[in-house]
Amino acid sequence: MKSKILILLVLLVNQAFSQPIKPAAVKADLETKPTLLWKYKTNGPVVATPVIVDSTVYVSSNDSSLYALDLANGKERWKFRTGAPVRSSVCHAFGYLFLLSGDGILYTMSRDSGRIMGYFRTLTGFMGERQNDYADYYQSTPVIEDTTIYFGSGGYLFAVYLTNGQLKWKYQTGDVIHSKPVVYKGKVYAGSFDGNLYSIDTRTGNLVWKFKTTGHSFFPKGEVMGNPVVAGGMVFVGARDYNFYAVDMMGGHCNWLKQFPLGWALPVTYNDSVLYVGSSDDHQLFALDVRSGKEIWNLDAGFNLMSGVAVGNKIGYIATLAGKVYGIDLTMGTVKWSLELDGYKANHLTWFNKDDAFRDDIGKLISTPMDILKMYRELGGVFGTPVLSGDRLVVAGYDGWVYCFSGGIKP
């Protein structure tokens, strides 16, 4: 393991270490269908959620690169190439970006120029990160709490000091960690493909508890692929065993769970007292009461959902793997408007009938996992969550296109 941190000269004298710098949250509603403002093509599929800081959109791509785009016009400000596909989003603090690449390296770079300020090499070394299977779409997105950055790589959860770039601790699980950790009140929670959700003490790196998923006949380990979310004294997470779990934060036991008959329920968004949970093969978005799991409403999204919800005041924004984007009334669970990305417009009849049901001969078109990925790529399916900033809505597709839509807003 090797670390090289040039960022020290700035950070050690910066009293802003008390809290990470975060952009001001702008909550607004696009009441009517927005129009395309600009689009930009990367050289590979995008599965990560774009990140907007001030006037710049940062989006990572499977072409091994991170792009910085001008929010106003989509022009490239800079581009940084890593040694492997990037399937996670950047995080940011103190004017710097932190990017975990598939090459097993955590990069620290200038937010303005993309210039490398330092790096931390994980235990995967030059072998890079391991992808479990074709449907293991993501890598762990790092999170920052105080002066420590947390992320998963290989079978380890890492905690690294920002002050000196040194390892604070590492915790080994039984398989890869590709979920985005969440930190709350001295604990960091992360899911592993060994089928466990882990609670780790942020100070010592010791295990507090671990919760084992049930498993499924197709996925007996019950791989924890979803990003955990903390709310109401519980940790919420979706796994590959078709279950969505509400795990007690203190005791590590299951308070309630919701089963999904057809597939995974991985994307979860918390807003006030409501959880918005998207499902893949069920094709539905659910609004659930955070304490009981009781269903408030559900919406048929028409196709697989891997996208979380970008939350405005009363409208939320989701996108599907068919390349369609929706504005949703969060109170009623109804569609206010929808729009189609370029991939859907050009290729949906290759895979679907006019009513968006699969063609009768779909079994001939999809016979291998690579055919499924081909479908998602041709449709421009959206794996990351749309991002809302003022009157701008940014969406990135599996075909490599990044779109920015604009519309009239209602504060």
Residue 26 lies in a domain: no
Q: CB within 8 A of 355, min separation 6: which ones?
A: none
- Residue 25: its pLDDT value, please? 46
The CATH number given to whatever domain includes residue 145 is 2.40.128.630
Please give, one letter per residue, the 3-state secondary structure of 185-207. CCEEEEECCCCEEEEEECCCCCE
Read off φ and ψ for residue 375, nearest 5 degrees. Answer: -60, -50
**Global pTM?**
0.92
- At 199-224, the pLDDT tens digits run 999 999 999 999 999 999 999 999 99
- With respect to residue 23, please indicate whether it lies within any of the assigned structural domains: no
Written as six digits, the tokens of 160 are 């690294």
Q: Which helix (H) or strand (E) holds 319?
A: strand 315-319
Residue 211: inside a domain:
no
Domain-located, residue 32: no
Whether 216 is in a domain gets the answer: no
Residue ranges in the chain whose pLDDT is less than 50: 1-26
Rounded to whole angstroms, the Cα distance separating 325 from 333 reads 15
Owning domain of residue 118: 1-8+47-178
Residue pair 98/53 in contact (Cβ under 8 Å)? The answer is: no
For residue 337, give the nearest of 317, 321, 311, 310 by alpha carbon: 317
328 — phi, psi (to 5°)?
-115, 135
* Number of structural domains found in the chain: 1
Q: Is the Cβ–Cβ distance between 237 and 191 less than 8 Å?
A: yes
Does an H or E element contain 52, and which? Answer: strand 51-53
**Nearest CA-CA partner of 384 in 368, 403, 366, 369:** 403
Confirm whether 65 is domain-assigned.
yes
Has residue 272 been placed in a domain? no
287 in a domain, yes or no? Answer: no
pLDDT at 411: 56
